[in-house]
Structure 1
Amino acid sequence: MRVFISYAQEDRVQADHLKQRLLDLGHTPWSDSGLHGGQAWWDEILDRIRGSDALLLLISPAFLASQACLLERRYASLLGKHLVPVMVAPVPHHVLPTELAPLQIVDYVHPGEAAAYAFARAAATIQPSRGLPHPLPPPPPVPLSYLNGVRDRMGRPSLTMDEQLEIIELLGRGARAEDSEERRAAHDLLQMLSRRTDLYESASRRLHEHLMSGQYVAPAPRPAHVPTSPPAKGTPTAVKVLAWIGAIFVALILLIWLLAPSESQCFSDSLGYIWCS
């Protein structure tokens, strides 16, 4: 059967793993290789959903926050596609959307023999698609379409200060969105905008505030020299002071000895008196 894998980018490793499981079970899985954005990318996604027999939904907190995953499963439901939800990260049952709560969800949070059997049983229930409804439901809009519009505006050769501030505020809200894909895309656009040489001072300051408060702040550069071992312990200060005092004392003794008059010469005369010169 043709299976479309719907997942959030944070769950890419689990998606690749389950894709191989589907291949081993004789299915033909397809998954997006990454978020490319734009109308052509979204048109391909929708075409793959229409041509699939079922959607494999990788349930996780990131999946539930993803705008693209939401649009994919809603469009598939309108087309009458079989939904196979598989939980790959813990999500409380009461927070599941209404279209998923009644479905039997495969627990694949801890992959193992039991999880593999449960997944194989769920995959065995997939049946060929009954065909598309006529007329087709209207296709959902491209996710993050407002960011695509912002990027087009950023491509203009010149922007007024008000235009710069408006774009920065839009991207700042996107950088704080729940959808990880939206946050990533908004942050990338903020970085791109920061490289413009015609930013006004107030716009530049506001832009860097968003970058510094965002989730994708680049780590600070490491210092040029990082010691690999702790420095050797030096001589205690008190010992150094005593050594200097001793050296000065010896120097003073030598100086006094050198400046002192030479030893007197004494002799006695014939009467027995001692004379010294």
Structure 2
Amino acid sequence: MQVFVSHASADRDAAARLRADLAQLGRQVALDRGEPVGVRWWEGVLHRLRQSEVFVLVLSPDSVRNPGCLAQIRYALALHRPVLLVPARPATPPPEVTDAPVFDPAGLGAERVAKLRVALLSLPTTPPLPDPPPPEPPVPYLEPFRDRLADPRLGEAELRSIFRELRSRLRDEQDRAGVWALLVLLRARPDVPAAQAAELEEVLAPGWQPDPEHRVDRRYWDGQAWTTLVRHEGREFNERRVPPPEATWSGDAPARPRPSTPPRPPGRGPAGHRPLGRRRWVWVGGTALLVAAVVVAGFLWFGDSTTDPRAVARQFVDSVNIGDTDGLVQVACEKVRPTVRTTFLGGGFHLTLESVDPGAEPPTFTVLATDASTDVSDRRTFPLVREAGEWRVCV
């Protein structure tokens, strides 16, 4: 028997626990784990629904108002799939499944699994798929915005309208991760009106944001991408990527995100000291400079953005992180340009852009340099100097 488990992202732990229990019963589980903004993701969801014999909804206040969960429920009913409700948190079921049986997941290990077996066996026999099949529900969430943003013929009025709509939806926790990705796409368009472009830079500026993966309390956005710098339960640390909770569930305790090394506040070692680790100091013109980089294969193309301090800071950080000498030469001041490789590259660190202060005299930006081997971090502020009408990074 294949079981489709529908759940909101806030209920990942409950869904993972249910998946583990179903696996103990020998049931195959289809668990939605995709990013809810793409056509391909939605086609995969509908395919797994058609292959399943039972539809299970992890019931919670989030799932009963989640557009994806609601669309999945309606499609499962159109496919004549038996429905089982599994409460994660108190909530009133959607009207379509008010009369569906409810399985109480309380209890420990074997007792809970035995109760789940009884609940599944009590469901009606799954009939064949209807012929002709019911129409597929449209993609929920934000796909219409993605389609609109792909249209090169959008006018300024429509671009302003899209920005206002997306910005208003940032307040919705269910939509926030997808909206954020769409705002990044909008920012990449060269035809965004100047006023909206400035507002986009403010919205997408580096800073702490709710974790889009709901793994921890906060995750740091560096202006271009999500980083592994996180805050959780009052601690700040650099999180090593771990499999999602549903892939690591074991026993009766929910999986929790864990760094691969004990978390430490940035810049401090186990005893409160600041260990050097693999830190390398290079002297340039009498100034000690922390060299931080992780060199990986690849390249990065940069447009003509050296008149914007924020863009210069982003290009500097990205160039250091991928070991792009040409990118560094574009934004380095004349004094350090001949030695950018020895000055900025090498040392086993990864840079995270924390903030840019374009109004300072001179403008500055601050980075967090994290040692890849110890997770120890240091902050450093770089000044920008004006050369030939463009901003350059100098030391």
**Would you say same fold, with TM above 0.5?**
yes
CA RMSD of aligned residues (A): 3.3
1:185 corresponds to 2:178: yes
What do the CA deviations read for 1:76-99 (whole angstroms, capped 9, x no partner)?
1122111011011232xxx32222
SS of structure 1 residue aligned to 2:62: helix
| Amino acid of the structure 1 residue aligned with 2:183 | L
C-alpha contact (below 8 Å) 2:34/2:41 kept by paired residues: no
What do the CA deviations read for 1:180-238 (whole angstroms, capped 9, x no partner)?
1x2220122223433556543321344467669x974965999x978x69xxxxxxxxx
| Amino acid of the structure 2 residue aligned with 1:118 | K
* Cα gap change, 1:127 to 1:174, in 2 (>3 Å): same
1:129 corresponds to 2:122: no
Unaligned runs of 5+ in 1: 230-277
Q: Matches of 1:77 and 1:4 in 2, distance apart?
A: 13
| Amino acid of the structure 1 residue aligned with 2:72 | E
C-alpha contact (below 8 Å) 2:5/2:58 kept by paired residues: yes
Cross-structure match for 2:282: none
Q: How many residues align?
A: 220
Q: Matches of 1:104 and 1:126 in 2, distance apart?
A: 8
What TM-score, normalized by structure 2, do the two folds share?
0.48
Cross-structure match for 1:54: 54
Cross-structure match for 1:201: 194
* Cα gap change, 1:218 to 1:209, in 2 (>3 Å): farther
Cross-structure match for 2:12: 12
Q: Matches of 1:225 and 1:128 in 2, distance apart?
A: 60
Equivalent residue runs for 1:38-187 within 5 Å: 38-91=38-91, 95-108=92-105, 110=106, 112=108, 115-126=112-123, 128-144=125-141, 147-155=142-150, 160-177=155-172, 180=174, 182-187=175-180
C-alpha contact (below 8 Å) 1:81/1:129 kept by paired residues: yes
SS of structure 1 residue aligned to 2:29: strand
Unaligned runs of 5+ in 2: 211-217, 223-235, 237-265, 274-395
* Cα gap change, 1:118 to 1:85, in 2 (>3 Å): same
* Cα gap change, 1:99 to 1:115, in 2 (>3 Å): farther
Per residue, is there more helix in 1 or in 2?
1
Q: Matches of 2:148 and 2:156 in 1, distance apart?
A: 13
The sequence identity of aligned pairs, in percent, is 30
Per residue, is there more strand in 1 or in 2?
2
Q: Name the larger-Rg structure.
A: 1
| Amino acid of the structure 2 residue aligned with 1:78 | A
- Higher relative contact order, chain-length normalized (CA < 8 Å, sep 6+): 1
Q: Matches of 1:165 and 1:184 in 2, distance apart?
A: 20
Q: Matches of 1:104 and 1:58 in 2, distance apart?
A: 12
* Cα gap change, 1:3 to 1:152, in 2 (>3 Å): same
